[in-house]
Structure 1
Amino acid sequence: MEEWNRNNPIAEYVREQRKASKMTQTELSDLTGVGLRFVRDLEQGKPNLMTDKVNQILLFFGSTLKPQPID
């Protein structure tokens, strides 16, 4: 089983954006239409989440997942 990384870039970004917007996880869940458990799992760095739902939250903050070359 893959270990969760709370400090992964997506988890950190979503958590920081949500807090900067002064929202609770419940409010983010309601505003984006994804489940509260999904928001919690995402912010805790769960490694295998559905990308369409991740994008649903990222789009709310004006971002999206995209391929990036590895250095």
Structure 2
Amino acid sequence: MSRLSDFVKTKRKQLGLTQEDFAEKAGVALTVIRKIEQGKDNLSMSKVSQVLQMFGHVLGPINEKDETRNS
């Protein structure tokens, strides 16, 4: 989950947005952004998808073998 949290936090900061501003633009609650950036694992897939859409990304399966090779 840390890859997701790092990705969202870095992209949000690149846009120069606070967590509050980003949550509003993404149409999710502030707690959703905080949970994602803290690496929590009890996240709603639909909310994560909404957040990722802000960066032109989608939620999808990644082959674990491919992930460890790219690390």
- The TM-score, its normalising length taken from structure 1, stands at 0.86
Provide the aligned C-alpha RMSD in A.
Answer: 1.0
The residue aligned with 1:33 is: 27
The share of aligned pairs that are identical, in percent, is 35
Q: How many corresponding residue pairs?
A: 65
1:10 aligns to 2:8 (yes or no): no
Higher RCO (C-alpha 8 Å, min separation 6): 1
Q: What is the TM-score when the length of structure 2 is the normalising length?
A: 0.86
Unaligned runs of 5+ in 1: none
Point out 4+ residue stretches in structure 1 off by more than 4 angstroms: none
Structure number with higher helix proportion: 2
AA matched with 1:68: I
